[in-house]
Amino acid sequence: MGSRLGTVVVTGAAGRIGSAVCRHLRDDVRRLVLVDRVPSQPQPQSPTDRAIQLDLADADAVTAALKGADAVVHLAGLPDEAPLADLLESNVLGTYHVLEAARRQRVGRVVLASSNRVTGFYPVGQVVGPDEPVRPDGFYGVSKVAVEALGRLYADKFGLSVVCLRIGSFEDAPDEARYLATWLSPRDGIGFVRAALTAPDVRFATAYAVSANTRAFWDTTAGARLGYLPVDNAEVFADGVPGSRDPVDPAALQGGAFTDAAYSLRHVRADEPSC
């Protein structure tokens, strides 16, 4: 894939990350296809742009949307803790439909949005890389583990080129203490997506997408191998972040409040057994 990206499909194009990706990729692509269940923002800006409103549960519609695509950036899905059945339908089944459509349409590169929350139960005192065993901090993290596993399967079995980005806390600026470690600036977020789309000779790769934060507890070596080095650092905002000067317990969990039992149990049905 050259510097111009050809036709790129972005799922979840109306979302916060998706809309940012669409805005910044527009000048790099020959054609941009914006896919979402709701009308996409930003709307198509040129005659070569196309917006498609569909539900990823419709496998035939997804396959049709990827016709002629050179790459797909899959950002659609539930973005936080939810009932497991909903996460399986939206995040796992939706990803399966995207990967299967990419296989059928011979798409050259698939970029999957994973999450840092696949390893939320590691302590903050440990630097974690993508080769460490997964330790999801909730049902949402479990769904992203499955997303990565599907990507690996389609790379190994069907020869797709797949990059999974474990996205950090995508915010304009960090506004809580945990984000001083996990922040992903919009500029770095776009940089990681571009690298994931253009890195040569990739069959399968997983990388943490996080800014160059002084307090980071994730290994970004894999991101560097894709060709991107982050440039922003959450530390420049530290003085304005509540709790930023509090001592940090190295045994505290990277997932923070996401690791609390109550955070997941509120999404368990009353008629299901719980601990």
Cα–Cα distance list, 95 to 22, 83, 122, 226 (Å): 19, 17, 26, 22
Q: Give the residue carrying structure tokens 């997964």.
A: 134
CATH code of the domain occupying 7-265: 3.40.50.720
| pLDDT at residue number 55 | 97
**What positions carry a catalytic annotation?**
140
The token pair at 183 is 């922040």
Give the Cα separation of 211 and 194 in Å (integer). Answer: 15
| pLDDT at residue number 3 | 44
Give the Cα separation of 212 and 235 in Å (integer). Answer: 9
**What 3-state DSSP class applies to 154?**
helix
The model's pTM is: 0.95
pLDDT in tens, the chain (275 residues): 444 799 999 999 999 999 999 999 998 999 999 999 998 665 566 677 899 999 999 999 999 999 999 999 999 999 999 999 999 999 999 999 999 999 999 999 999 999 999 999 999 999 999 999 999 999 999 999 999 999 999 999 999 999 999 999 999 999 999 999 999 999 999 999 999 999 999 999 999 999 999 999 999 999 999 999 999 999 999 999 999 999 999 999 999 999 999 999 999 977 666 55
| pLDDT at residue number 1 | 42
Give the Cα separation of 230 and 228 in Å (integer). Answer: 6
| pLDDT at residue number 273 | 60
Q: Which residues does residue 253 pair with via DSSP β-bridges, in sequence order?
A: 123
Q: How far is CA 96 from the centre of its chain?
A: 15
Give the Cα separation of 97 and 103 in Å (integer). Answer: 10
pLDDT digits (tens, 9 = 90+) for 121-158: 999 999 999 999 999 999 999 999 999 999 999 999 99
- E strands, the chain, are 7-11, 31-36, 50-53, 71-74, 109-115, 162-167, 169-170, 183-184, 204-209
